[in-house]
Amino acid sequence: MPFLGACVVPHPPLILPPIGRGEENKISSTVNAYKEVAKWVAENQPDLVVITSPHANMYADYMQISSGRGGRGSFANFGHPELTFEAAYDEEFVANLEKVAQEIDLPAGTLGRQNNELDHGTMIPLYFLQEAGYQGKIVRIGLSGLSFSHHYILGLSIREVAEKLNRRLMIVASGDLSHKLKEDGPYGFADEGPIFDQRMAECFRQGDFLKLLTTPAKLANKAAECGLRSFWIMAGAFDRLGIDAELLSCEGPFGVGYGVARFLPTGRDESRNVCEKAMEQHKQMMEQLRQQEDAYLQLARHSLENYVRNHTKIDIPANLPPEMLTTRAGAFVSIKKAGELRGCIGTFLPVRDNLAAEIIANAVAAGTEDPRFPSVTEAELDELVYDVDVLSTPEPIDNPLKLDVKRYGVIVGSRDGRRRGLLLPDLDGIDSVEQQISIARQKGGISPDEEIDLWRFEVTRHE
């Protein structure tokens, strides 16, 4: 079998002795496991190593494969320009993989701005591989904001191209785990951090790639993970294959999780159609969410779906709760996809006849007019989740001490009355009033040194 196996490895720069200056000794389990797995890869004498890296070029809707004859890089950004690496790319493999992606309409290939400078997510695995004796070619692949199924199918395509070209293939999935393991760590602490790392350790130890693919987006986002999509690509290479899995190390003494694991294919196993099972679970979950929607969420969803499919705005339905027809209030509609914001537009004061009309208009605007995102397409509609926030009338306040990031949203206005920025309450990652005001300033184009007026408001959230 051309596909020899795969491994998961982290990429902390301090693991390199010239950078760590002794700090690498505090992650000796990771260092020793890294050396062991690199030796294992080299001893299998692969013709090619595919490295998936979170720090290669990343696009929201495209998985880029590095093109050209090869890449070079250094750790100059980490104060060590003398640490340099280079690797040759397998151009024939890249061309064949891109062709397969085009044939199956998979958004992957060599389009986009190419950067021949190797990233540290690639160079650190290279350091250990080359130290272990591997001098062959690589293929470097970046991640994307696409779904688990897109990444998984790319992994399967990598295996199929290796079989077609008779390349002895190893896959190295480069990626750290949670960045939120310690209060005194570089990124702070979140309860979800250790939970995420424990989940990844179980997935790696058991070879449970169904659990890997169905990792909740909210958990991954709050854990500030780095490598999940890299692991998804690797998992795809094992589609319908038995697996011998081994977790060699998992630790996080500096506040960032580092996992090392290796996986060996053991032959055909039709029961491991992992992606199909994950997609069925996802479909059932989305159906449950739809069944749990209240009238506010249903109205927002129907409004956007009708507009995207038919290019018309819906009339106000007759069977809505009375308060939606008699109340006038500002409302924000937020749209998420795979746990990530996909659009958010609203009004902080009512501008239409009733709340229902406000939601209908703002749902369409959130999906088609948010300047941060392209318009929602019909293919995305089944994957979207909606929130509707109904705002109280904003009240002026004379002191930031009267704010509470969990209870109150804030409106920041310039003294000339021409610019305003608004931020809703209880948002992920917003933990202080100072953060709240600062972000609202930015949204309103108000500089940090300008005098401002403040308003606060409460919301009734439907989610």
Query: Model confidence over 17-43: pLDDT tens digits?
Result: 999 999 999 999 999 999 999 999 999
Question: How does DSSP assign 117-160, residue by residue?
Answer: BPPHHHHHHHHHHHHTT--SEEEEEE-BSS-HHHHHHHHHHHHH
pLDDT at 340: 84
DSSP secondary structure code for residue 190 in this structure: -
Cα dist. 342→29, 40, 236, 246, 367 in Å? 40, 42, 26, 37, 8
Put simply, whether the predicted model's pTM sits higher than 0.75 gets the answer yes
pLDDT at 74: 95
Tens-place pLDDT, residues 433-448: 999 999 999 999 999 9
Place of tokens 């977790």: 247
Place of tokens 């179980």: 202
Tens-place pLDDT, residues 260-274: 999 999 999 999 999
Provide CB contacts within 8 A for 453, sequence distance 6+: 396, 412, 413, 414, 415
Number of other CB atoms surrounding residue 119 within 10 Å: 22
